[in-house]
Amino acid sequence: MSAEVKAEEGVLRGQDCPFCHKKTLTLAEKEMEIPHFGRVFLFSMTCDSCKYRKADLEAAEPHEPARWTLDVTSKEDLNARVIKSAEALVKVPHVGSIEPGPDAEGYVTNVEGIITRFKQQIEVLKETEEDDDAKKKAKNMLKKLQKVLWGDEPIKIIVEDKTGNSAIISEKAQKQKL
Ligand SMILES: [Zn+2]
């Protein structure tokens, strides 16, 4: 290890970046206790040179592979915690999905945070879309999601993870083994 390496509360700076090979990668690790789920390790890699970024999480204790479904029908449901690993598939029927894969990120958020991410995805789509019909469709979708965020419209959220590192924490959430 080089002399530049210093540790501060789970942070390692000056690491080798696997992409641009400069010593500008920061590794961060954090631990979180999530009620009704348990301890979760969150880690991230960020390179100051090439802007490479990766974030993911892993439960301290293994959980079984599961599909979580939540019918969001009130503003209260928007506060339900969502634990999403990079391996999770997040689906909102008739709206879209967040796919797992090497570019996917893991994070802890809530239902509101998930809906907001979908909104951002659709906003980008709306801006880049050439087709008028598709633009209109995106616009309507944004309206619908805004209503969901106001608690005025129901929606269904599905989080599927074959590694068991994801969950929706709500008494209303339905869990199915995968
Ligand atoms: Zn880099």
Instruction: Report how far ligand 1's centroid is from the alpha carbon of 103 (Å).
Output: 15
Instruction: Report how far ligand 1's centroid is from the alpha carbon of 90 (Å).
Output: 28
Boundaries of every domain in the chain: 1-61, 63-178
pTM score of the predicted model: 0.88
Res 161 pLDDT > 60: yes
pLDDT in tens, 65-120: 999 999 999 999 999 999 999 999 999 999 999 999 888 999 999 999 999 999 99
Quote the CA–CA distance of 66 and 73 in Å, as a whole number: 22
Q: Which residues surround the ion ligand 1 when the cut-off is CB under 5 Å?
A: 17, 19-20, 47, 49-50, 52
Q: Residue 38 half-sphere exposure, CB side, CA atoms within 13 Å? A: 10
Give the architecture (CATH level 2) of 63-178: Sandwich (2.60)
Instruction: Report how far ligand 1's centroid is from the alpha carbon of 26 (Å).
Output: 10
Provide the pLDDT confidence category of residue 9 given band limits of 50, 70 and 90: low
Q: Residue 75's CB: how many other CB atoms inside 10 A?
A: 13
**Does 1-61 match 63-178 in CATH topology?**
no
What CATH class is the domain 1-61?
mainly beta
Quote the CA–CA distance of 28 and 8 in Å, as a whole number: 9
Q: What is the pLDDT of residue 101?
A: 86
Quote the CA–CA distance of 101 and 131 in Å, as a whole number: 28
